[in-house]
Structure formats: C-alpha cells, structure tokens
Structure 1
Amino acid sequence: MSVSTLVTAERDTEAGTLHQRILNDIEGKIVSGEWPIGHRIPFEVDLAREYGCSRMTVNKVLTQLARAGLIERVKKSGSFVSQPHTQSAVLEISDIRKEVESLKLPYAFNVPRVAKRKAQGADRLLLDVPVGTAILDITCVHLAGGKPFCLEQRLINLSSVEGVDQADFTKIPPGQWLLSQVPWSSAEHRIHAAAADATTAEQLGIAQGTACLVIERRTWSAGAAVTQVRLTYPGDRHALVATFTPSS
C-alpha cells in the first residue's frame, strides 16, 4: 500500500469517527429531552465550525437523523426535532413502553387513579361481567420524553386476575403487568376516532376537541373476562398497521 493510500484511509477513519461523534451528540440531546420537540437544530455551517469539519459531514449526519425520524428538515428554514410518531399492530397486544422506546425517547408513566369497586351497568357492557362483580378501575398516563403520549383507562376483573389488587402500579404500568402475569386466549379490538373531552385533553396536554385515535380492547382467558382498556392517542402521533394474507 502506498503512502498516499495510507493517508486517505486514515482520513476516512477520522471522518467516520467524527461523523459518529456528531451523530451521538445530537441524538443524545434529543433523546434526553435537552432539545425538545420543535427545537431548531444549529445550522450546518455552525455545526461544521463547532466540530471543525466540512458541511458535507454535518449534512450526512442530519440526513441520517431525518431518516431515523428524529428530526425534520424544512427547506430554507433549517432542521427541527420531530414530533414522535409511532405505530402498532392492529392484531397484536402491544406494550406501550416498547412503542415509546422505538422512538428512542425515555419512557415514564404515572397512575393518578386506582380504585377497587363493584361493576355497574355501564361496566357490564364494557368488561362483559355481571353487575356487582369486583373490578379494579385504573387510569394511567404514559409519557414519551417527559410529555404525555397515551392515556390508558382500564377495568380489570378481579375474579379472573389473581394478585392484581396487590400489584404496585407505581413500579410497573397495568398493561405491562397483565402481559407478564396473565395469559389471554382471545381479544377484541375496536378502533375509532374521537374528539378529546376536557378530562382527556388535560391528561394528554392537548387542546379540548383535538382529534384522537382510540383503541378499545377486551381480552378473555379460558372464556373469563380479564380486562377492558381504552387507549387514547393524539391523532397525529400514532398509526395502526395490520399484516394479513388473502382469505381462502
């Protein structure tokens, strides 16, 4: 190998290392929340000056971040931290924590309501249990990057889910607890659009009347009702995907 080839290889290695450093730095600021949604990324010329590299290197980094969905590049305006947008499978019971982590954002949750009570008439229709059945009524707000991501409103049939009334929902969200503890044999999904009412809007940090995507699901285990949940997402942040084959 000639001297000139060695020098070129060394420069390529340095460029690759610097590319990764810039990528890691910007991604870290986005994922940590230091640069929130809508934050303007420094201009290419400024980043090139900061890192002592060419604008081409910076451009490649920003292009990679845009393809990953972390930033949005707007012609003549610059680059901005993107609004998270995730998707889940229609025919699966997804883990909301994994949905958030797929966006490369830190996940958190809070549970403002856990109430043990007897099922009323409306609950009988939702959960498929007789009136008077002991149920657990839970509200959980899932967060992505410190901001509301999904509102979970759940009813659990205490007679078919052993130990749930002893679960510590300050440490694990109810949906994740159920997936890990209770086998389910059948499920029903109902998907529709709804305008956020005052309570939903407050919990999701959106304006009242905002269009939302709502997934309502019931699950059973060996014929016994397990849970009914209503998951509400701001409509511009979530999509549903179904994979299927032709019917015979």
Structure 2
Amino acid sequence: MADERARESVSRKIEKKPLALHARIQRDVEDRIVSGEWPPGTRIPFEHELTAEYGCSRMTVNKALSELVKKGLIERRRKSGSYVRQPEVLSAVLEIHQLEREVRALGLAYAFRILQSCRRLASDEDRQRLRLDGPAHVRHVKTLHIAGSRPFCLEDRLINLEEVPQAETADFSDAPPGSWLLEQVPWSAAEHRINACAAARAEAELLDLKEGTPCLVIARRTWNAAGSVTHVTLTYPGDMHTLVAQFGPSARLS
C-alpha cells in the first residue's frame, strides 16, 4: 500500500513538471501555425526576437525551431529567416502529392473537370465522414482528374464550411479543390483509410472502365486545431496508382 502511494506521489510530480522552455517555445509557435494565426508563407519572429520574448538563450530558441523544421511546419531561408511551410505532406506515414504532380511525374499532360459542386446542410453521412457532432454546412465537390487522354482518379470531396468559409465561393477553375486547400488552409493531421473495391457502374463509366474492374480507394480526413477541414475519397483504376512506403528497422528489437 505504501509503495502504491509512493508511486502515485511520483506520478503526480511528473504530471505537474513544467515543460522545458524550448518545448514551450515549440508548442507556442506550432499552435499559432495550426490555428491559422500564422498561415503558410508567414515569416515567424527572428531568433533574437524570440530570445528577447522568452528571456532565454539563442541556443534554446534554435533547438525549438529545429524541431519545427523536422516536423515540416517551418523552413529556414538563408539570410531571410524562418517561414511557415506550404503544406505538401499531410501524413507522417504516407506521403501525399497533389494529383497534378502524380500525373506529371508519369510524363503525361494533366487536366481536371469539376463534375458536381454544391453547398448544403451536412447530412448524417456527411457528418459521419467529417466526424462532426452537430449541424454544419458543407461544400460537396466531385472532380475527375485526367492523365493524358485517360481518366486518372475520381475525387469525391466534402469541405467543412464552418472551418473553411472561403471555400463557399471558390470556383476551382484554376486549381482543383485538393490543391486549393493545400495552399489556403493550415492542417495539423490526417487519417488515411485504404482499400480495394470493384468499380460500381457510375464510377466505371466516369473512369472509362468495365463495371467490376478493381480500383484502389484512398479515404482521407484532414483536420487542424479548430476541427475537421475536409474528407476526400480518391478512386483510382487499379493499374494507375502505386503506394510506396519507406521505413527502417524499429528501435526496439523483438
């Protein structure tokens, strides 16, 4: 019993232990980025400014900023300072490129066509996809991406207008919704669900496939500190997309 009380006492002391100063600086800067207070392209305060603000050494500030560079939230530019990065990668597990880049990497011309676009009150299914607890308005956009002369991917996207109100009037004529969101909206995390399916009649017609042709489906939900930003389902013909993951051995040996 005495040992258990001692463990509880140690646990409480650990929980109350304050953050190291470099960790607090890192957290404060990260919070401003993911909340949208500092959007992509913003120059964050110089090291000497942060040193004065937090009353610490240049080394402490440098350590905090180095961690943010590793997380992909900021980039350092020689003689210019540190800037909030344009978000290109949405997952630490799977690298996500804009669809245009995927197509051009194949050496093919890229094009896209908006098939459907509407604003509506979120349905039960919409709220489930976005994991919303209450009423909300969404923009629903379906896009066909084309590689050369062949359909490449069918995109079915919901955008939460409570978190991204500017998406209500975006016309997506110059850039498809996914590329537009990457440029406009801060993110902090994403979740992927990947599965295979047989193309239903509607998808098969749009992708120029025979009904029942194997397809790869990637469902991705993206969110930031404020809440869900978007949910997208990407359907690829099975022979048009390859998932590649690079990894090393675990630090823990079994």
The equivalent residue for 2:192 is 189
Matched, 1:143 2:146: yes
**1:206 and 2:209 are equivalent in the alignment:** yes
* Partner residue in 2 for 1:227: 230
2:109 to 106, 112, 124: 106
What amino acid sits opposite 2:208 in the alignment?
G
Unaligned runs of 5+ in 2: 1-91
Unaligned runs of 5+ in 1: 1-88
Query: Cα offset for 1:119?
Result: 1.0
Runs of 4+ in 1 over 4 A off after TM superposition: none
Distance 1:247 1:165 in 2: 45
2:135 corresponds to 1:132: yes
**Displacement after TM superposition at 1:205 (Å):** 0.8
Query: Conserved in 2, the CA contact under 8 Å of 1:113 and 1:139?
Result: yes
AA in 1 matched with 2:238 = G
Distance 1:182 1:92 in 2: 18
- Alpha-carbon shift at residue 104 of structure 1 (Å): 0.9
Structure 1 distance, partners of 2:148, 2:162, is: 36
Amino acid in the other structure paired with 1:132: P
Contact 1:123 1:131 in 2 (8 A): no
- Residues 120-157 of structure 1 show CA distances to partners (whole Å, capped at 9, x for unaligned) of 11112111113531001010000010221000000000
Q: Which residue of 2 aligns with 1:246?
A: 249
Q: 1-side partners of 2:134 and 2:208: how far apart?
A: 34
Which amino acid in structure 1 is aligned with residue 248 of structure 2?
Answer: T
Partner residue, 1:92: 95
Q: For residue 168 of structure 1, what is the aligned residue in structure 2?
A: 171
> d(CA) in 2 for partners of 1:191 and 1:138?
20
Contact (CA 8 Å) 1:108, 1:146: kept in 2 or not?
no
- Does the 8 Å contact 2:163/2:226 carry over to 1? no
Distance 2:144 2:194 in 1: 19
Structure 1 residue 223 displacement after superposition = 4.5
Match of 1:38 in 2: none
Change (3 A) 1:91 1:223: farther
The residue aligned with 1:78 is none
Distance 1:131 1:204 in 2: 35
Equivalence for 1:61? none
Paired residue type of 2:197: A
For the aligned residue pairs, the C-alpha RMSD in angstroms reads 1.4
Q: Establish whether residue 115 from structure 1 lines up as the match of residue 118 from structure 2.
A: yes
Provide the rounded CA distance (Å) in 2 between the counterparts of 1:243 and 1:166.
Answer: 39
Contact 1:90/1:241 (CA < 8 Å) preserved in 2? no
SS at match of 1:188: strand
